[in-house]
Amino acid sequence: MAAQCGRPSPGCTAPGTGYGHTVPLSDGGKAFCIIYSIIGIPFTLLFLTAVVQRVTIHVTRRPVLYVHLRWGFSKQLVALVHAVLLGVVTVSCFFLIPAAVFSVLEDDWNFLESFYFCFISLSTIGLGDYVPGEGYNQRFRELYKLGITCYLLLGLVAMLVVLETFCELHELKKFRKMFYVKKDRDEDQVHIMEHDQLSFSSITDQAAGGKEDQKPDEPFVGPEPPVPADGPPQR
- Give how far Cα 50 sits from Cα of 44, 55, 89, 122, 157, Å: 10, 9, 22, 18, 10
Q: 102 in a domain, yes or no?
A: yes
99 and 111 Cβ atoms separated by less than 8 Å: yes
Report which of residues 162 and 204 the model is more confident about: 162
Residue 61 lies in a domain: yes
pLDDT in the model for residue 12? 41
CA 188, distance to chain mean position in Å, is: 30
Q: Is residue 51, in this structure, part of any structural domain at all?
A: yes
Is position 207 within any domain?
no
Domain interval for residue 65: 27-177
41/176 Cα distance (integer angstroms):
27
Q: Which of 144, 123, 162, 143 is nearest to 19 (CA)?
A: 123
In a domain, 191, yes or no: no
Q: Of 136, 96, 138, nearest to 117 (Cα)?
A: 96
145 and 133 Cβ atoms separated by less than 8 Å: yes
- CATH number for the domain including 143? 1.10.287.70
Number of domains composing the chain: 1
The answer to whether 26 and 135 have CB atoms below 8 angstroms apart is no
Task: Dump pLDDT digits (tens) for 169-202.
Answer: 988 887 777 777 666 555 555 455 555 554 545 5
Per-residue pLDDT tens digits for 43-88: 999 999 999 999 999 999 999 999 999 998 999 999 999 999 999 9
pLDDT attached to residue 230: 54
Residue 28 pLDDT: 92
Confidence of residue 11 (pLDDT cuts 50, 70, 90): very low
